C-alpha cells in the first residue's frame, strides 16, 4: 500500500487502572474507521509507574483487547504497556494486526532519572515491522534521545515513538522528533499523553507527525486531548530520497549487542 493512514491518540491515562483505561479507549476507538495504523501512548494501561508491572493487566489480556480493536478498525493498533514476563518486567510496545499477528518491541533505553532501569529489563533488539508495504521502527519515549539507535540503515520508512514525556521537557520532545525525521529522511510520529499522573508529573502531549523533510503533518494542541490524523505517501518518500540522497553519504556503522 503506497498510502498509510496514521492516527495518534493523545489522551490522558487513568493511574494504575488497566480496565478503566481500556474502557476509555474503547469509546475513542469505536469511531475510528478506514485507518491503517492507530497508536496509543506509552504505558497506556497504567501511566508511567515503576510498580505498574506488578499489578498491570496480563499480556494476553492486552493483546486480546488490541486484536479486538484492530479487527473492528481494520488497522494495526498498538501502544506500550508494563508487562510481567518470566524473566522480569518490561515496558513493551505491542502492535497487533486485524489478523492477530502480534509485534513486540521492548524499550531499550530505560529512564534512569525515574529509576526505570531498577524496575524493568532493557530490550535487546531493534525491531522493524512490515505492514501494508511499509517498514516501521517502533520506539518508546527515552529511546528518542539516542540517535544512533534509531539511525536508518535504509531499513525503515516510518518511526513511531510512544511516550509519557513530561511537560517541562516538551521543547526537547518536539526538537528530537523533528531531528529524527530530517536526519533519517523518514516519517516520524510521536504519540505523547496529556494530563497528570499519580506522581504529580504533568504531560503536555505535543504529539507530532513529521514528514521526511521536517514538515509538520499533524500536531496536538498542548495540554489538550487530541486525535491526530495524517496520510503518509510512500511514493513521495522515495521521490524525496532520490531527489536529495543524503542517505548515500551516511557513515557505515553497526550496533553491538543487538
Whole-angstrom CA distances from 64 to 95, 101, 127 are: 11, 11, 22
Cβ partners under 8 Å of residue 185, min gap 6: 152, 212, 237, 240, 241, 244, 246, 247
Q: Which of 69, 107, 116, 191 is catalytic?
A: 107
Those residues with Cβ within 8 angstroms of residue 48's Cβ, 6 or more apart along the chain or in another chain? 42, 114, 141, 164, 197, 201
Per-residue cell: 17: 487502572
- Confirm whether 59 is a catalytic residue: no
Active-site annotation holds for 107: yes
161 is catalytic: no
Q: Which of 141, 161, 183, 191 is catalytic?
A: 141
Which of 42, 59, 116, 183 is the catalytic position?
Answer: 42
At 147, phi and psi to the nearest 5?
A: -65, -30
- Residues involved in catalysis: 42, 107, 141
Amino acid at each position: 500500500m503506497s498510502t498509510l493512514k496514521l492516527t495518534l491518540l493523545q489522551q490522558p491515562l487513568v493511574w494504575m487502572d488497566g480496565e478503566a483505561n481500556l474502557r476509555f479507549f474503547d469509546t475513542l476507538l469505536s469511531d475510528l474507521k478506514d485507518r491503517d495504523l492507530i497508536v496509543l501512548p506509552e504505558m497506556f494501561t497504567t501511566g508511567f509507574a515503576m510498580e505498574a508491572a506488578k499489578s498491570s493487566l496480563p499480556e494476553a489480556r492486552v493483546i486480546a483487547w488490541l486484536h479486538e480493536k484492530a479487527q473492528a478498525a481494520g488497522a494495526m493498533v498498538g501502544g506500550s504497556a508494563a508487562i510481567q514476563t518470566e524473566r522480569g518486567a518490561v515496558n513493551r510496545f505491542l502492535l497487533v494486526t486485524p489478523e492477530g499477528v502480534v509485534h513486540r518491541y521492548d524499550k531499550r533505553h530505560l529512564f534512569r532519572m525515574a529509576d526505570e532501569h531498577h524496575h524493568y529489563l532493557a530490550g535487546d533488539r531493534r525491531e522493524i515491522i512490515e505492514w501494508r508495504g511499509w517498514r516501521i521502527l517502533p520506539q518508546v519515549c527515552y529511546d528518542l534521545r539516542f540517535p544512533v539507535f534509531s539511525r536508518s540503515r535504509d531499513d525503515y520508512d516510518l518511526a513511531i515513538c510512544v511516550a509519557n514525556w513530561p511537560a517541562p521537557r516538551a521543547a526537547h520532545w518536539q526538537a528530537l522528533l523533528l531531528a529524527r525525521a530530517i536526519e533519517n529522511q523518514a516519517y516520524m510520529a510521536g504519540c505523547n499523553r496529556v494530563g497528570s499522573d499519580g506522581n504529580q508529573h504533568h504531560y503536555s502531549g505535543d504529539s507530532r507527525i513529521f514528514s521526511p523533510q521536517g514538515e509538520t503533518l499533524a500536531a496536538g494542541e498542548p495540554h489538550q486531548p487530541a486525535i491526530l490524523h495524517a496520510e503518509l505517501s510512500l511514493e513521495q518518500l522515495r521521490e524525496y530520497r532520490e531527489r536529495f540522497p543524503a542517505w548515500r553519504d551516511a557513515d557505515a556503522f553497526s550496533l553491538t549487542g543487538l
